[in-house]
Amino acid sequence: MSELLTRAKAWADQDPNASDRAELTALIGRAESGDRTAIAELEDRFRGPLAFGTAGLRGVLAAGESRMNEAVVLRATYALAQHLLENVDRAAERGIVIGRDARLRSDELALAAAEVAHAQGLRVYFLSDPAPTPVTAFAVQDLKAAGGVVVTASHNPPEYNGYKVFYENGAQIISPIDEDIAKRITLAPPACDVPRRKLDDVMEFEPARLESKYLSAVRLHREPKLELAPIRIVYTPLHGVGGRFVSLALEMAGFQDFSFVREQAAPDGRFPTVSFPNPEEPTAMELLLQLAREKKADVALANDPDADRLAAAVPDTSGVFRTLSGNEIGVLLAHHLLTRDGSTDPSRLVVTTVVSSQLLASMAKALGVRYAETLTGFKWIANEGMRQEREGARFVFGYEEALGYTAGTVARDKDGVGAAVIFAEMVAAAKARGETIPTYLRRIKDQFGHFVARQKSVTLPGSSGAARIQEIMAALRRDPPKALGAVSVASFWDLSSRKRSHADGRTEEVTGLVPNDTVILTLEDGSRIAVRPSGTEPKIKLYLEVAERASPGEEASAIEARGGARLSALLSALAEVTGLSNEL
């Protein structure tokens, strides 16, 4: 207890933010008086520095070393600036782009980061108004900057914020860059001693011109020779920053009939109409689907709060709207992009992740285009795309099942604005040829395979939750299951050691991927299961997929139901193996 109080008091003394300092001082006082709740809260706020992990930082907004706050951002930006100045050619001259979303304190944290970078001698391109994350990614490339930062917590709950870092190539940072920055954070001065310099007019930069260039680049996603039918679009930014950009992008692409969910149109970091602003959550889509029914829309689109993800719902033949999964959107967009212009260029490349559907691999093989799988996370997709471009590939599309998509090279990150334009084009093209999106998807599956997938996440918060997640992963590695229910396990792939073990006793080393805390089980019937901790939330994630054979003329609902039953059985068996039966 005394050691905890000493650390907490030292942090409070060094915190330059008056509000955070007062908050922490009050919590320390309650802990000193014996308040058990305060002691537990203090322990959680000082269980170690907020980890500099998946492309940066993310955590609950509050004072303390394990939380997201100004003091943490100051030290992180100092470390980032030092790394760029020492490792990127002409970094000071090329500068750094700093953007933000509209979450609580995003403006304050972004300005703090800009002032630290400026004090370190970096030219600063400061996006003073909230903008989508892909705009920052685009800006790094367009301005040939040394790096970039966007203050965002993407789709996390309202109490979160984060700090996402891009490198000079416009993609999120990867190892060993993140490791070097993390090491430098530990060596950074106390937050109160980190130099800051107010931004001034010397940095001539017009964010509006940059935003206009980004939107013009997004407009080029459209295929001008494609026949399109008029469509009606409804859209929500989920209280985020996508509204203005998507509206302009759709208009520039020639779409005129679109409506917003009025209650969610304005940026608001409190997210008053949703408890969890993640379009993967069914409750987050309720107002959008209601508007879609009222307007008799052809498509309903949603971005997450920083507009790097895209969700979509479409009506079936009876007019009932169905929200598409991330995998379904991914394969639809991939097929549309690969076939819309009649190209047969074998250098075209599509990329997805090891936890996404196997359908894209089947499609790519049949269409004769390049295909690659990466670790989970868009930083890996972007970097793999650039690696293969150096070998002559032409990157067409990349996606991950968590609603992240990008086309071409406009942004080397997820781009929910660009994806919205392409999805609208796809709907209009399908309508022009007399096809609905459900029938288009069925045609794709009939041609390349009926894969039925499901993803489940279990939230295990706090230090006890983190320990339990670690133990689940360790137990799977110590004693890999031989079967899940009635189906034998054919192979067990531990991505942390790159070792794949087969049921017949063979083992092999799988190279090409950076070691990662993920395990993948392939079953004898072709089913695939992946288990991994989330890189941004206190969750363990389970990904399950089965392959189904469809009879001629069989209804899609029957195929989905049959696959769903198999998935439910697999999920129950997996819950027993992992000890998550009570949570699932």
Query: Annotated active-site positions, please?
Result: 154
ω before 533 within 30° of 0 (cis)? no
Determine the Cα–Cα distance for residues 33 and 31; give it in Å rounded to an integer: 5
DSSP string, 408-451: TTS-SS--HHHHHHHHHHHHHHHHHTT--HHHHHHHHHHHH-EE
Q: Which of 219, 224, 220 is nearest to 341 (CA)?
A: 224
Tokens coding 551: 């009879």
Residues 57 and 68: beta-carbon distance below 8 Å: yes
Class of the CATH domain delimited by 215-448: alpha beta
Tell me the CA distances in angstroms from 103 to 157, 161, 163, 270, one per residue in order: 10, 7, 12, 7
- Give the per-residue pLDDT at 54: 63
Class of the CATH domain delimited by 47-189: alpha beta
Tokens coding 543: 């990904």
- 56-60: strand order across its sheet: 56-60, 160-166, 147-151, 96-100, 124-126
Residues 421 and 325: beta-carbon distance below 8 Å: no
Tokens coding 412: 């080397």
**175 SS3 class:** coil
Instruction: Count CB-CB contacts under 10 A for residue 278.
Output: 23
In sequence order, what are the beta bridge partners of 293? none
Class of the CATH domain delimited by 450-578: alpha beta
Residues of the chain with CATH 3.30.310: 450-578
Residues of the chain with CATH 3.40.120.10: 47-189, 215-448
pLDDT in tens, the chain (584 residues): 689 999 999 999 999 999 999 999 999 999 999 999 999 999 999 999 998 876 799 999 999 999 999 999 999 999 999 999 999 999 999 999 999 999 999 999 999 999 999 999 999 999 999 999 999 999 999 999 999 999 999 999 999 999 999 999 999 999 899 999 999 999 999 999 999 999 975 566 889 999 999 999 999 999 999 999 999 999 999 999 999 999 999 999 999 999 999 999 999 999 999 989 999 988 999 999 999 999 999 999 999 999 999 999 999 988 899 999 999 999 999 999 999 999 999 999 999 999 999 999 999 999 999 999 999 889 999 999 999 999 999 999 999 999 999 999 999 999 999 999 999 999 999 999 999 999 999 999 999 999 999 999 999 988 889 899 999 999 999 999 999 988 999 999 999 998 999 999 899 988 888 888 999 999 999 899 999 998 777 899 999 999 998 888 888 889 989 999 999 999 999 999 999 988 88
Determine the Cα–Cα distance for residues 170 and 413; give it in Å rounded to an integer: 8
What lies within 8 Å, CB to CB, of 245 at 6+ separation is 131, 132, 135, 211, 214, 215, 307, 417
Tell me the CA distances in angstroms from 401 to 5, 240, 326, 362, 580, one per residue in order: 43, 21, 4, 16, 23
pTM: 0.93
Q: Which of 67, 69, 76, 21 is nearest to 48 (CA)?
A: 67
One-letter identity of residue 106: S
Residues 551 and 446: beta-carbon distance below 8 Å: no
**106 SS3 class:** helix
Determine the Cα–Cα distance for residues 516 and 531; give it in Å rounded to an integer: 11
Q: Which of 344, 395, 343, 346 is nearest to 374 (CA)?
A: 395
- Give the per-residue pLDDT at 263: 97
Radius of gyration of the chain (CA): 24
Percent of the chain as helix, strand, coil, to the nearest 5: 40, 20, 40
Determine the Cα–Cα distance for residues 330 and 280; give it in Å rounded to an integer: 14
